[in-house]
Copies of this chain bind each other. A is one copy, B any other.
Amino acid sequence: MSRYTVKQVAALTGVSPATLRAWERRYTVVEPERTASKYRLYDDADVARLSRMAELVAGGTPASLAAEEVTRDAPLLAAAGAPGSAAVPSAQGAPPLAPLADRPADDQLVTAAQSLDPVLLDRTLDQAFAAGSFEQVVDGWLMPALTQIGVAWTEGRLDVAGEHFVSGAVHRRLAHSFEAAGGRAGAPVVVVGLPPGSFHQLAVLAFATVLRRQGMDVRYLGPDVPTDSWVRTVTQLRPDAVVVGVPTTLDVDSATEVAAALRGTTSVMLGGAAASAVDTVGASILAGSVVDSARTLSATLHGS
């Protein structure tokens, strides 16, 4: 974990030192540590928040509202800004996610899907995403609930239209969070997407969002990216890492093909429920939940 002086933070965020101090004084948007002689010492979480605030302000949001917005997610960014100490292959050292308190009943999303009722669906999602941090909700509620949707569909209890109906709404929620997490110019670049023929993008979008919230510069390509497009993209962007999603066993072959084609170009990683079934030709597996995977990748990149 690095520490930065005002001048460094000014360079990183593009905000003048005087303005940084004014933001701190007026909105308490950060409270950096101090040296014995009162010099400010910002950490990564502070920089992430100030970058986000700078971005909002540049986009036309008044500083006071931007500060409020940034401060709202405070506890989570604090956790994300302190990734594990060393290059440990798994995300040890990161605090475990607290369990969710008032999340909706496990089958409420299925009920909403069956009813095609947007009011019930919205209420369910509102309730879920209000129950904790984005990371807590994704791992603790969203992914299990989506699994239930899949089960209900295979058992014939849920029509495709109902599945589409909730998938679309969940996609919109995730999209909003992804956008809200903002870009991070200068941060490690990570390309994220799905192999050709793979369309289930909810988990990988959630993953991309968590990565963004941890300060990565995520380039999200979405579903069904042809193998040669992966190669061209990596050649063009030279990212610090590439993550290929493997949501189902049906995607194993195409993911293997993509991984093989990318071998040697950069750090290639495979994530998702079926990732472990891929023959890892020079690629690594991101094991565990969505948030675990993101933390593992984050730790790896910060260690290198």
**Chain A residues near B (Cβ < 8 Å):** 2-5, 7-8, 11, 41, 59-62, 65, 68-69, 116, 118-119, 122, 126, 130, 159-161, 164-165, 167-168, 171-173, 175-176, 178-179, 183, 185, 193, 217, 219-226, 229-230, 232-233, 236-237
Contacts and interface: CB of A to CB of B under 8 A. Distances in A.
Nearest to A65: B3
B161 A60 contact: no
B193 A119 contact: no
**What secondary structure prevails in chain A residues at the interface with B?**
helix
Given A65-B3, A65-B5, A116-B219, A229 B160 contact: yes
A253 to B, nearest CB: 19
B65 A225 contact: no
Contacts of A130: 60
Contacts of A172: 175-176, 178-179
B2 A222 contact: no
Contact of A165 (B4, B167, B221): B221
B60 A11 contact: yes
Given A116-B236, A164-B222, A220-B168, A62 B179 contact: no
A237 B114 CA distance: 11
Task: Across the A-B interface, give the 7 residue pairs with the lowest CB-CB distance, nearest first.
Answer: A172-B175, A161-B229, A161-B233, A160-B229, A168-B222, A164-B222, A175-B175
Contact of A159 (B173, B222, B229): B229
